[in-house]
Structure 1
Amino acid sequence: MKEITVDSNPSEAILKNLGVAHWPTWEKGVSVFPWSFVTTEIAYIVEGECVMTPNDGGPPTTFKAGDLVVFPNGYKGTWEVKKALKKQFKHKDGNFVKCALSRFKILKNKLKSNG
């Protein structure tokens, strides 16, 4: 499985060049939950601390406020939000719609199986 990459404390020039200030924001409280990335996502961690553990048994990846993180398409693992998370994110090639539709289908199937 592809690995998460973390750039600790990227320069302001890199963040400006990527347009991070214009990316949407996502927030999550302390929690543990599974996640599958259906597109490559780039995220700038504004606040918090997390550990992401891959389903394939590979080593966990820790990231925190100030880190620029790339989650590869196809990565499956478990989020452990240790300190409330706030991130700005972008899906590669603007594939946010693909990601949102995939999430909706997963939720819909879970509701069907529980209902």
Structure 2
Amino acid sequence: MEKLGIKIERSPPENKLTQLGVRQWPKWSCPPSKFPWTYDAKETCYLMEGKVKVTPSGTNEAVEIAAGDLVVFPKGMTCTWDVSVRVSKYYNSE
């Protein structure tokens, strides 16, 4: 599924995560908060826990992502992260 330029795969199969090497990627976590963010590179991430609404700049529409989602953010995207439940993710920038 793709929404506002963000690609989301809900509950991808374990073999896909293994193939991508997700568990070897760096980890990042964040408590509930709201902050602006710009992606300097394409980022693929896998949320282990949490819930966040990502609102790309120039729109009032948000994309909700949560634990179990594999997400791809395009290079150059500027957005606001609104973390409602502590987020913990693996991420890989290209």
Secondary structure in structure 1 of the residue aligned to 2:23:
helix
Deviations 1:52-89 (A, max 9, x none): 00111152110000000001001101000010000000
Q: Aligned partners of 2:78, 2:49: CA distance in 1, in Å?
A: 23
Q: Aligned partners of 2:9, 2:73: CA distance in 1, in Å?
A: 12
Count of residues paired in the alignment: 91
Structure number with higher relative contact order (C-alpha < 8 Å, ≥ 6 residues apart): 2
Identity over aligned pairs, percent: 36
Instruction: Flag the structure with higher helix content.
Output: 1
Secondary structure in structure 2 of the residue aligned to 1:53:
strand
TM-score, structure 2 normalization: 0.93
Larger Rg: 1
Q: Aligned partners of 1:57, 1:63: CA distance in 2, in Å?
A: 17
1:1-115 to structure 2, matched below 5 A, reads: 3-57=5-59, 59-92=61-94
1:11 Cα offset (Å): 0.4
Runs of 4+ in structure 1 deviating by more than 2 angstroms, as ranges, are none
Instruction: Flag the structure with higher strand content.
Output: 2
